[in-house]
Structure 1
Amino acid sequence: MEEAISIKSIFTTLKERWKLILITMVFFALISGIVSYYLLKPVYAASTQILVNQKHSGEQVDSLQIQTDIGMINTYSEIIKSPVILQKVIDELNLKQNTSQLGEKITITSKENSQIFLLTVQDSNPANAVKIANGVSEIFQKENKNIMNIDNISLLAKAKLQENPSPIKPNPILNIGIATFIGLLIGIGLAFIMEYIDNTIKSEKDLETLLELPILGSIQKDS
């Protein structure tokens, strides 16, 4: 019985405070929309495909060598983001950033047991993203021969600037959806807090609980 009363009181509170909940949801959605569309800078991505494959003189391909090439991808990921490579990229492309800032823009991804990995660069300017991605890839391919004494890097696909590039972030629709859900939760929380601190008497039951005395009669409001 108490559980039924409790559930009923929850729905009663939500019904009485629905305007507060709705206003909170709309407020959070509006703030998220303003931030996503007008304050956050769009970020674009450009990627190159790099193959790790040591050149073989014979026709047979050594499976052990292939596994070695795959295992080298983690090492190459570190070399690509090293100051040795990034500083050459900065100098050659005349970038106005240091090696740490440039390294934060670069992401290396690869699939399991694949000799191909993607070098992705994120930038607020799509043309810069393409230029940096290609620059890093080409300089890495050239310098790796001297660093590792191995000629096993091939550039399969360069980054290209699309006619109408689309930013990868922010995602305004997703942000607004998340903000609206958060607003819903906060609105519900505020509704229960306000209900808890509200000491006004709304019904005969409230009066009976407050005075700890039974209600002997009531006067009906004349309509």
Structure 2
Amino acid sequence: MAKNVTVQRIVSVLLHRVKFIILATVVMGLLFFMYSRFVIAPMYSTSTMIYVQNYSSAQRDNANTEATTSTKTESDSKKTSNEENQKIYPADISASANLAEICVTLFKNSDEMTALYDGCTVNVDVTDGTFFITITVDGTDAQKCANVANQLAEKAAEVYNSKFSYGQIGTLRQANVPPAPYAPSNMKNMLIGAAIGFIASCLISILIELIDTTIKSEDDIQEIYGIPIFAEIPDFDNQG
């Protein structure tokens, strides 16, 4: 006959096997930590940022020079031209943002750029509504990730100039060698292992109790057979 399972009985079983549960929790946590620390390859990530614009300084300078009136002196003309070159108009931002979206598609499908990946994972994204493109490189070698990112930024300029006869491209931020990996998280994996060990040991303890049909006390006899116990004969041999 199966034993009745109650919350009180489950708690009693867990308390009875608390040493086993603690040991299993600690062992599993240490195993997961060692696996994370010594087996899983660390992953590094770095990025470089480039920009594309639908106009170049030379194009803006020529446009401003033509618009400058002949009544101004040469120094005034140069001053006005320089001031205008530093300005970015809303129309330029919108057009450059559209150009950046096109360039992202171009860079992702360029054989010249994909040939530089060198086993790393590369992601090319544009910041929404801007003309800034981020090239992110992930891999197991920190130095290689930085080298690949910077090489891709340089190659992006070559690919752009070979496809477009207008605008300009440049680098805003070069990729640096990441000082530490972003994955795996040894502490997180250790906690996951400890949680698995704790849950598994609790389930095993409860399962063992359920399948154990031996009678350990008078309460087991009364529970299984429904017979009240009035007296108990001690086992003198086992008691010495």
TM range, smaller chain: 0.7 to 0.9
Return 109-118 or 23-32, whichever deviates more: 109-118
- Work out the CA distance in 1 between the residues paired with 2:88 and 2:33: 55
Of 66, 86, 89, 2:113 maps to 86
Query: Is the aligned partner of 1:196 residue 2:210?
Result: yes
Query: Is the aligned partner of 1:208 residue 2:222?
Result: yes
Please tell me whether the aligned partners of residues 44 and 168 of structure 1 are also in contact (alpha carbons under 8 angstroms): yes
- Work out the CA distance in 2 between the residues paired with 1:108 and 1:14: 53
Query: Is the aligned partner of 1:153 residue 2:169?
Result: yes
1:171 maps to amino acid: S
Query: Is the aligned partner of 1:133 residue 2:149?
Result: yes
Q: CA deviation at 1:19?
A: 2.2
Deviations 1:73-130 (A, max 9, x none): 554444333242334536xxxxxx5xxx44xx11235554444342121222221111
- Work out the CA distance in 2 between the residues paired with 1:86 and 1:31: 41
Deviations 1:141-174 (A, max 9, x none): 2202333555353210111236xx2122222122
Matched positions, count: 206
Please tell me whether the aligned partners of residues 80 and 140 of structure 1 are also in contact (alpha carbons under 8 angstroms): yes
Please tell me whether the aligned partners of residues 45 and 129 of structure 1 are also in contact (alpha carbons under 8 angstroms): yes
Please tell me whether the aligned partners of residues 21 and 188 of structure 1 are also in contact (alpha carbons under 8 angstroms): yes
Q: TM-score, normalised by structure 1?
A: 0.76
Structure 2 partner of 1:176:
190
SS of residue matched to 1:214: coil
- Work out the CA distance in 2 between the residues paired with 1:64 and 1:191: 70
- Work out the CA distance in 2 between the residues paired with 1:178 and 1:52: 45
- Work out the CA distance in 2 between the residues paired with 1:149 and 1:88: 24
Q: TM-score, normalised by structure 2?
A: 0.71
Larger Rg: 2
1:213 maps to amino acid: I
- Work out the CA distance in 1 between the residues paired with 2:13 and 2:95: 65
RMSD of aligned C-alpha atoms?
Answer: 2.9
Please tell me whether the aligned partners of residues 36 and 170 of structure 1 are also in contact (alpha carbons under 8 angstroms): yes
Long gaps (5+) in structure 2: 65-83
SS of residue matched to 2:116: helix
**For the structure 1 residues 113 and 199, does the alpha-carbon distance in structure 2 shift closer, same or farther, using more than 3 Å as the test?**
farther
SS of residue matched to 1:175: helix
Return 75-84 or 179-188, whichever deviates more: 75-84
- Work out the CA distance in 2 between the residues paired with 1:158 and 1:16: 60
SS of residue matched to 1:89: coil
Structure 1 partner of 2:30:
30
